[in-house]
Structures are given as C-alpha cells and as structure tokens.
Amino acid sequence: MATVMRAAYRRLSPADLRERVLSGLEALHACRLCPRDCGVDRLADRWAACKTGRDAVVASAFPHHGEERCLRGVHGSGTIFFAHCNLRCVFCQNYDISQAIPARDARTCPPEEIARLMLGLQAAGCHNVNFVTPEHVVPQVLEAVEIAVASGLSIPLVYNTSAYDSLASLALLDGVVDIFMPDFKVWSPDLAKRWLMAEDYPCAAREAIREMHRQVGPLVVDDRGIARRGLLVRHLVMPGAADDTRRILEWLAAELGPGTYVNVMDQYRPAGKVLSGRFPELERRPSTLDHERAVALALDLGLRVDGLPD
C-alpha cells in the first residue's frame, strides 16, 4: 500500500462536473442507474425498488469512529447514511433504515442540504466524506458534490457501497470519487437470491469492483496512514459460507492483484428478517475459527488485511 502526501485526487473541472450532474439527472427520467433496471421516472418523484424519488433520503450524518482505521483516523470518517437500498438483505442490521417505509429518523434532503452536511463534516475535522448506501442516489450525490466543491470542499470522497452498482452509474463517478469501498457479500447466485433477493448480485459486484479498481487503483495513504485514494473491499464472514469467502478472496487476489486492501469482517449477527425464523442457516454467528481462517487465507493470497500491522 503506497504512501503519499497530497490533497484529494479530484480531477474534474467545474464544467465536466456540471456535465456529469446533467447526465445523471437525465438518467433519472427512466432510471436504470442500478442493476434493478426499474425504468421509473424518478424526476417525477416516482420510485420502485429503491423507494427513493427525486431527492435523496438521509438517515444520519456524523463523524464515524468505527470505520476502517485508514478512514477514521483521529477525527473520524464523515459518514452520510442514505436511507433505503436496492438490495433486500435478509440479515441487514440497519433494516429500519434500509427497508422500512418510512425509514427511521430519515428525512428527504435536497442537494443543497446534503452539501451543507458535507461541508459541516469537513469543518468538524473529518478526514473524508463517506457516502453510505449511495448506489441508488448517484445523481443526487453529484448534485451535492458540485455545490460543496464550489463552496470549498476538499477532503476525499468515499463511496461506501454494497457493490450492486451499474457500470453506467459508476461511469458518472469517474474522477469524482477518491475512495471506493464496496462490499463483496456472496459468490453464489443461489445464496444471493435467497439472502439478498438479487440472483445477479455476484456478477454485478464483480463488474462493479473491476470498474472501481480501474478508476482509482490500489489504496494509497498519506504519512498519517489516512486513505487518500484507491479501493478497499469489505467482506462479511457469514455462517456456513466458507466456500463463498474463499472464492471471493481468491478472485480479488487474482483479478486485482496481491496487495489489494480488504477488511475481513466478523460483525455478523442475526438481525432483520433472519429473526423471523425463515432463515435458520443464518440464526447463528460464525465462529472465531471461521473468521481466523478467512483472515489467514487472505494473508496467504497476498491481500492486505485491515487492522493488522503493515
């Protein structure tokens, strides 16, 4: 993982950013900005899978001290949690934000308000602005970024995603996002269908992660260990899914190369629809040994694992 001292890598001119905003808004007329391909006119405030119309819905915004160490630093990662989601993960720990209508504590935010949140997080000393669950609101994010950059936003932008993104949507972000942080949840289409309600998720995630890596490359940090640019992949170890974990880690090493930065996460617990009793295979936490084996495999493959000494 390379170390540099420099500002964020925002490359687009104001004119180019304006063009991206207009392209994103035009795409909302018949929205196909994620793999769901709903085709609804979100500019008319209609919605389908993502439950979000013309304006983004924000659940919270605050300096987050629980993110990866290269994001949180001393002053925290400036997270903006968007409500709703284009997946239907049955184990979602934020079910009341991602899938409930109305989402708990959420409010519709025009781009000017999101820009104010971004600038407020920068003023609070956050090391970055971290958009959480932004897959369905890329045009709205771009609108806010345009306003915030014109008002002095300069810290890196983090795109914190499930990886259920379309290539068209990611193309709008090329040169805007500094750090991509996708999940790679499952490898098996059968598990994706049962657990995420999206059988095409594994294929979509592979395509999306390839494109993210093409845009920003490997993770780069400054002399304080704070991420400035690049790709960081998360994988949550799931009960009984060791083969999926192995396939995902092997693919990352083979496709993106040794040195790819990963967070092999052990935070799974039964939540969301799992508590209904319809998913008995998910009603337990993975063992400590399951997680240790996943971390060991990542290291054997030459991946860089978050939380371990450099």
Dihedral sign computed on CA atoms, order 290, 72, 52, 206: negative
Asked if 119 and 152 touch (Cβ cutoff 8 Å), the reply is: yes
Q: Is the pLDDT assigned to residue 307 strictly greater than 90?
A: no
Looking at residue 309, its pLDDT comes to 64
Cα 59 to the center of its chain, rounded Å = 15
110: preceding bond cis by omega (within 30 degrees): no
Could you tell me the CATH number of the domain that includes residue 175?
3.20.20.70
Asked if 184 and 56 touch (Cβ cutoff 8 Å), the reply is: no
CA atoms within 13 A on the CB side of 141: 24
Residue 251 in domain: yes
Mean pLDDT computed over 119-125: 98
Looking at residue 310, its pLDDT comes to 57
The count of domains in the chain is 1
Residue 310 in domain: no
Q: Give φ, ψ of 265 to 5 degrees.
A: -95, 145
Where in the sequence is the domain holding 278, given as residue range(s)?
8-305
Residue 188 in domain: yes
Percent of the chain residues topping a pLDDT of 90: 91
CA dihedral 29, 30, 31, 37 (to 10 degrees): 180
Nearest-angstrom CA–CA distance, 200 and 308:
33
